[in-house]
Structure formats: structure tokens, C-alpha cells
Structure 1
Amino acid sequence: MFSENDVRLLMAIQYRLPLCEQPLLELAEREKLDPDFVLRRVKEFREKGVIKRYGANLNYRAFSTEHKAALVGANVEEDRIKEVARIINAANPKHNYWREHEHYSVWFTIKARNEEELFSKIDELMKKCNVEDYVVLPTKRVYKMDVKYDLIKGISWSEKSLEKFDVPKVEELGLDASLLRRLESLDVCERPFSKFAENGYTESELVDLIAELIKKGVVRDFSGVLKERKIGFLENGMTVIKTDNPEKLALKLVEELPQITHLVERKVPDGWQYPLYFMVHATRREPIEKIRESLRGYGVEDTRTLYSKADLKEQA
């Protein structure tokens, strides 16, 4: 599927992309890859959807318009899933999946300015979908959010430390939110920051700004983001955990399970028993199952892994 140099490039752009004025050229030098090869292949990978983007990965909690988020599970009959998914997709969810669950089949995440607006937005959306049975699980705390795929191991992998709890708002820092969003998906060229001169920034100022925002937690990191199915990662499992002490368990999982990409504590309503959630992605289901089984070693008995049957943002 990919050449040896392709794999080196796709690994490097995720894990070792230099934050500098010429990131792709510097990456080529450090990885001992031909610069023309790097520019050509990154452009091709972008066009084919293998690389979704590269640049500053933003923390949504720093933006007041989407400060609050929730995971929603909806009970949708199988013959209505595509119809419902199209309505949900019009609301621009971050994720929208058909998952293996005996009751809630459609799972999506959605954001809003505050919790009141969030619930109102979800209720209105479910009415449009003609869905009456759904569970809303607002985010209480994000412990980890770092989606990287190890093409050698065949499983998601990152050793990122605990995510900052308090993240300043973009507006509080006096920054232009639209400018930051442009920094999330840079052009594939030798000097991707040069175009921002029209906004009054030099290349070095933008590099310094991103570095400072990483320290503050507004930017999670500077890297490339891959599309999992395009690189052979066909399985993603959302594991839900019943625990009386989500924080204590989450702090252990962050340190000891680098395969986790998302680790989130959620507020749970009556009738739903799982406050802690994590995601693992892999080329096969077996390693995800092993991780779920390993939770017994943490004193956890009640866990479930909801595997994806379809990415509804792509297929609806």
C-alpha cells in the first residue's frame, strides 16, 4: 500500500513535524528524505485524503462558540440510519458513527457556546430526526485528546501527557479566531507561513505564537492528521467504563495506555452507568480487545467496547 519512505513520512509528519518557518523542508532534512519527495507526497496524500491536514491542532475549549461539547447516543432503526445521519451531518458534528450497541446505534459529538445552548441544540436536532430516545453525555473533563496512528505497530499510539484543565479563551488572549483556524490546515509548500503576511504577521512571529499557544493548551500540538481508513486502520472502538472514581482511573490510563487517543470523563444521566470513555484505533480488532481486557488489572469489571460499523460523516 505504502512504500518504506511513505511510511517514514507519514510517521514523521504525525510525531516529529518541526515547528519552524519551513516545516516540511526541515522534516525532510531531519528524516533524511528528499525534499522534493516530501513536498510531492504530502501534496498527493492531501489530495487523496490520506493526510487530512497539517498544522496547529486547536483545542476546541479555547473557542467560546464551541466551549461545551457532548456525546450523544441515539436509538435509530437501521433502515433510518442514513436519513438521520444526513440531518445530523447538517449540524456539523465533529464525529458521527454507527456503532455496535443493542439500543443506541448512532453516536455523534456536538459543540455549543454553553451547556444550555448545547442541550437545546441537541433536542432540536433530535426532533428534526424524529428520534425520541437518546442519551446526552456532556463532557466533564478531557484527560487526553491526541489522535496519532503508528503504522508500524498497527494501532493508535501517543505518549502525550495529561491535557491542561484550564485553557484560556482565544478572545481573552486578544487573538483572531479565524486566523488560528487557518493555521490548523497549512498549504503544502516550502514556506506555509509566508501567506499570513497579509494579516500582519511575520513567519517567525507565527512560529513563536504557536509555540506559546501550545504551552497554554490552546494548541494541542503541531503535526499532521491522517485519515484512519486510508491507512488501513479499519477498527475503532469506543470503550465505556463504569467506575466510582473516574478521575483516579483516568490519571492512571493516561500514563499507562499510550494506545488511547481520546480519554474523556462525561456527566451521566440516570439510567446510564458509564462516566469514563476512551477511543483506540487499530488495523484489527484483537489489540483493542486486549486493552479492554487489561482494564481488569485496574479493578474495573463493567466495561463495554462499541465498535464502529460506519463513519456516517462519510457514508450518509
Structure 2
Amino acid sequence: MELTRLDKEILNILQNDFPLVERPYAVIADRLGISEEEVLARVKVLKEEGVIRRIGGVIDAQKLGFYSTLCACHVEEDKVWEAAGIINQEKGVTHNYLRDDWYNLWFTLTSPSPEEGEKIIKDLEKRIGAEIKSMPAQKVYKIKAVFTGR
């Protein structure tokens, strides 16, 4: 899907300046000079096309006293979707994605404590039949996507 200028403007607002009001899409529409219905229609298309996975708040788990770790594992190709489904059932998993590498399945896990995180990882290892490498952050970086151009 090729993003239009309007799509990029909507995405930038959704990511960087989402209005915290009762009708945020009406505010976005007003900013862009279009109707609320048009904003909602564009967002729906962007979701259907997989450009938007979800819309929701991002919480800094460490600032709230939680433990977070990046995890990687090698899962046989014929079992990768099954393993991803099992991992995705864990409520502390915030991202889960495939990579074209030996460690082909990566995810982030947030838990109340390092001990609880380790317990969840051990349980997932048993359920998916693969060793999981846990890599807690030493330093946190925020990657920001901004869409420019036509």
C-alpha cells in the first residue's frame, strides 16, 4: 500500500499528538480540514492494510516498577506460527515478530518482577519447545516514526 499525504498526516497525529478528548477523531479531522467520517475511514483502511496494528497508549513499564525484556528464540519453520500464537496469549507480551535469522521469533515481555518474567519465560519454553534468550535493556531508546514527503 502506498501512503498518501493524508495518510501520513493522520499517522503522524496518531503517533505524536493524539488528542486526549472525548472525540479525538473529530479533533484530528478539524486539524486536517476533513470530516470525522473521512478520518475514521482512512484509519480503518490503514488497519485493514496492516499499516496500523493497534491504537493505544504506550506505558513506560520501568517507570511504573515493572520488568521488561527483549526475548529471542529459534523455532522450526513449520512450528513458528503455532509458537507465535502461544507467545501472543501471554498478557505481558507487547510485541512479537519474525526475523530472517537463526533467532527467528522475537518478542518483548513485561512482568511485575524479574523473577516473574523468568517464570513466564520458562513456561513459554516448555509450551513452544524452544529455548528463549532473555535480554533485559541496559539502556532504553525511543524510536519515533515520522512520515514526511508526498
TM-score (norm 2): 0.72
Q: Post-superposition shift, 1:68?
A: 0.6
Q: Which residue of 2 aligns with 1:137?
A: 135
Cα 1:150–1:73 shift into 2, 3 Å = same
1:38 aligns to what SS in structure 2?
helix
Give how far 1:138 is off: 1.6
- Note the residue ranges of structure 2 that are not aligned, 5 or more in a row: none
Partner residue in 1 for 2:67: 68
Structure 2 residue aligned with 1:95: 95
Residue 141 of structure 1 aligns with an amino acid whose one-letter code is K
Aligned partner of residue 140 in structure 2, secondary structure? strand
Q: 1:31 and 1:111, CA in 2 relative to 1: closer, same or farther beyond 3 A?
A: same
How much does 1:106 deviate? 2.1
Which string of whole-angstrom CA distances, capped at 9 and with x for unpartnered residues, describes residues 236-275 of structure 1? xxxxxxxxxxxxxxxxxxxxxxxxxxxxxxxxxxxxxxxx
The answer as to whether partners of 2:96 and 2:108 remain within 8 angstroms in 1 is: yes
Inter-partner Cα distance in structure 1 for 2:105 and 2:53: 24
Contact 2:96 2:107 (8 Å CA) reproduced = yes
Q: Give, as a single letter, the amino acid of the residue that structure 1 aligns with 2:145.
A: K
2-structure distance, mates of 1:9, 1:27 = 8
Q: What is the SS of the residue equivalent to 2:83?
A: helix
Residue type of the partner of 1:100? D
Aligned to 2:80: 81
Task: Report the residue type matching 1:140 in the other structure.
Answer: Q
Question: Match for 2:88: what amino acid?
Answer: N
CA contact (8 A) 2:9 2:147 kept: no
When residues 152 and 20 of structure 1 are mapped into structure 2, their CA distance, relative to the original with a 3 A threshold, is same
Larger Rg: 1
Distance 2:107 2:57 in 1: 24
Matched residues in 1 for 2:115 and 2:25: separation? 43
Give me the CA root mean square deviation: 3.1
Tell me how far apart the structure 1 counterparts of residues 47 and 72 of structure 2 sit (CA, whole Å): 33
- Aligned counterparts of 2:125 and 2:113: Cα–Cα separation in 1: 18
State how far apart, in whole Å, the 2-side matches of 1:99 and 1:40 are.
Answer: 31
Q: Structure 1, residues 208-234: CA drift from partner, whole Å, max 9, x if none?
A: xxxxxxxxxxxxxxxxxxxxxxxxxxx
- Which amino acid is 2:79 matched to? R
Indicate if the aligned counterparts of 2:72 and 2:104 stay in contact, CA closer than 8 A.
yes
Q: How many residues matched?
A: 147
Name the structure 1 match of 2:16. 15
Name the aligned partner's letter for residue 112 of structure 1: S
When you count strand as a share of all residues, which structure comes out higher?
A: 1
Q: What is the CA–CA distance in structure 2 between the aligned matches of 1:99 and 1:124, rounded to whole Å?
A: 22
Q: Closer, same or farther in 2 for the Cα pair 1:18/1:91, shift >3 Å?
A: closer
- Residue 126 of structure 1 and its aligned partner are, at CA, apart by 0.6
C-alpha distance in structure 2 between counterparts of 1:136 and 1:56, whole Å: 25
